[in-house]
Amino acid sequence: MSLKIAVVGAGYWGPNIIRNFNQISAAEMAVCCDQDTDRLKHIKNLYPNINPVTDFDEVLKDPTIDAVAVCTHVSSHYPLAKKALEAGKHVLVEKPFTAKVSEAEELVELAAKKNLTVMIDHTFEYTAGVNKMKEIIKEGLLGDILYINCSRLNLGIFQRDVNVVWDLAPHDLSIIMYALGMEPVTVRTVGMRLLHPTQEDVAFVTLGFENGAHAVAHVSWVDPHKVRSVNVVGTKQMLVYDDLDALAKIQIFDKCVDNPPHYDTFGEFLCSYHYGDIHIPRLKEAEPLNVMCRHFIECVESGKKPRSSGESGLRMVKILAASDESLRNGGKEISLK
């Protein structure tokens, strides 16, 4: 029996979710809800089997709907997800989970109380490249991780209700935490309002980890070139993940720096550099959204905890809230403990 799905929001991201659920035999992409009738007509033309509705209450009252995917502006995630959970529907929410920590906490508690699945669309946790990166780090091929540098740059799209950190950084923060298997203990954010009058459109988010490792995420809506890269520096080797490189998304560089343990002169202080080969592992590619949608269905049917669970969404919102606090205080380091 197929899982019957309703998607709320037919704007920017919703059609991608609709397309993928529509391709999965274990799901029935049944309803699309949006207040924009033109968008609903567009979806209906693409998928004649989908029932278009403008009233979210119709979705909630339909006993045949098993799950709701919320693909709307961040400010509406909480009320829509809460209503869906209260109506007994499993919920998939576009990132970030909610606009406030208290809202995320409430939704996690409500889902647990009703024994329902809540999953966050941290898409990059379902990419072949990020999973290969996680595997390489876990096997210790890079040695101890010293530093991670992420860049997510583009010209647009400007959001009206969140700054660039809330819009773009969840991708990189989820990659960092998922690949390392660790949560940061501090966050420090410096941002700029270059073109946007009320929201930071460029920012640098620095994370500190208990083991001494650091990560920096550079996010921007105002750069001329589209960049989607992650550099991981280890004590043995270094790794580059370039999501825009179709042929070599992951490259492992046999490079490292040897520091002399003791030195008496500046000449002795100079580090020795090791240069070796570049290894490009083969990846078995699949569309991440399709993998994510299939995982959601599996978790609903089996009751197992999703990879990008409500709890992981809550952790993300806590980091984003601390990032805002840091911005308000001139880039002050904020403890996450």
Asked if residue 269 has pLDDT above 80, the reply is: no
pLDDT of residue 263: 58
Q: What is the pLDDT of residue 271?
A: 54
Residue range 123-137: average pLDDT? Answer: 97
Mean pLDDT of the chain: 94
pLDDT of residue 258: 64
CA dist 53 → 45, 87, 162 (Å): 14, 17, 27
Q: Could you tell me how far CA 114 lies from the centroid of its own chain?
A: 26
Task: Read off the pLDDT of residues 133-149 as tens digits, 9 standing for 90 and up.
Answer: 999 999 999 999 999 99
Q: What b/e string do you get for 226-238 counting C-beta neighbours within 10 Å, with b at 16 or more?
A: ebbbbbbbbeebb
| Tens-place pLDDT, residues 13-60 | 999 999 999 999 999 999 999 999 999 999 999 999 999 999 999 999
Residue-level pLDDT at 190 = 98
Percent of the chain with pLDDT over 90: 88
Residue 210's contacts (CB-CB under 8 Å, 6 or more residues apart) are: 182, 185
Residue 217 has a pLDDT of: 98
pTM of the entire predicted model: 0.92
Crossing angle of helices 14-23 and 288-302, in 10° steps, is: 70
How much of the chain, in percent, has pLDDT values that exceed 70? 94
A 10 A CB-CB count for 155 gives 12
Q: Which domains, ranges and CATH numbers included, belong to the chain?
A: 3-116 (3.40.50.720), 125-287+319-335 (3.30.360.10)
Distance in angstroms (rounded) separating the CA atoms of residues 13 and 93 = 11
In tens, the pLDDT along 203-252 reads 999 999 999 999 999 999 999 999 999 999 999 999 999 999 989 999 99
Determine whether 24 is exposed, middle or buried from the number of CB atoms within 10 Å of its CB (0-12, 13-18, 19+).
middle
Please report the pLDDT score of residue 302 as a whole number: 96
Structure-block tokens of residue 86: 């209260």
